[in-house]
Amino acid sequence: MDPEMDSQLKIGFIGAGNMAFGIAKGILTGNVLPVNVKVSAPSSRNLGRFQELGIPITHSNIEVVCGSDVVFVAVKPHLVSLVLNEISQHVTDRHIIVSVAAGVTLSTLEELLPENSVAIRLMPNLPCLVQEGALLFARGSHAKQEDGALLRSLLHRCGLVEEGPESWIDIHTGLSGSGVAFVYLFAEALAEGAVKMGMPSALAHSIASQTVLGAGRLLRDSGKHPAQLRSEVCTPGGTTIYGLHTLEQGGVRASTMSAVESATERARELGRKSSKNQLV
């Protein structure tokens, strides 16, 4: 995708929460200028931080749609039908509508939008706020490959951006959306283990966060399988293998797999409920 093309695009956000803000920050570190972005929200509560980035703000969703090529619908799932009903008569075939609402299916989006509308479902995660997100998107039935390429080009500064079938979106929610919280829980437990052994709390939490960050970057950048990196840390009869044995006794591996499974199943359940409610 030509970076010059990105710089000419008009980008709109309906909704001003953390996901919209994280995506907006990532887009601005690319070739999109703040003046070519606009964000709307019903109240001014979250709009100030967008203004600090130089992004124009409004309370009109219709104004955002009419002035944009790509529109991110970043509202709570139960508000999607209200928003799409409001803007649908202003959506044309030049628009790409990108929903980041959890559980709202592509078929629901396409049902609520005008016929042949280009819809894409995107699932980001919280580290988008620091441009280290994991984002997965699925194209609707009228979205072409070049629409996906354009979205990937726009979002590449937000973190890892991948495309897949819609059936993977709920798995991604369990793995990466919820997985962030699982990592935080593990980081907290690491730090508290150090506190138990006599280290001051502030230092323990600082070292735990850096440990998680460093391990993640090494895992990503080395391209090695986690098991290979883990074995490289273990020396025969050393400290790490003793600690790993304790983790295995506690069932950390099975518990983590079950946590991803539970979160995925919950995402699927919410999706079924959402699809039923959106179209009633």
Contact between residue 137 and residue 166 where contact means Cβ atoms under 8 Å apart: no
Binding-site positions read: 14-19, 61, 74-77
- Could you write out the three-class secondary structure of 55-79? CCEECCHHHHHHCCCEEEECCCHHH
Q: At what angle do helices 226-233 and 201-222 cross, to 10 degrees?
A: 130
| Binding site residue list for NADPH | 61
For the record, the structure tokens of 3 come out as 């970076």
Whole-angstrom distance, CA of residue 191 vs CA of residue 99 = 37
Structure tokens at 2: 């030509």
What are the two backbone dihedrals, phi and then psi, of residue 60, each rounded to the nearest 5 degrees?
-105, 115
CA-only gyration radius of the chain, Å: 21
Per DSSP, the residues of 124-143 read: --GGGGGT-EEEEEEE-TT-
Residue pair 273/182 in contact (Cβ under 8 Å)? The answer is no
DSSP character at residue 1? -
Taking the C-alpha atoms of residue 65 and residue 62, their distance in angstroms, rounded to an integer, is: 5
CA distances to 48, 159, 186, 211, 219 from 214, rounded to whole Å, are 33, 16, 15, 5, 8
- Give residue for tokens 């199943």: 265
Binding site for NADP(+), by residue number, is 14-19, 74-77
Distance of CA 49 to the CA centre of its chain: 19
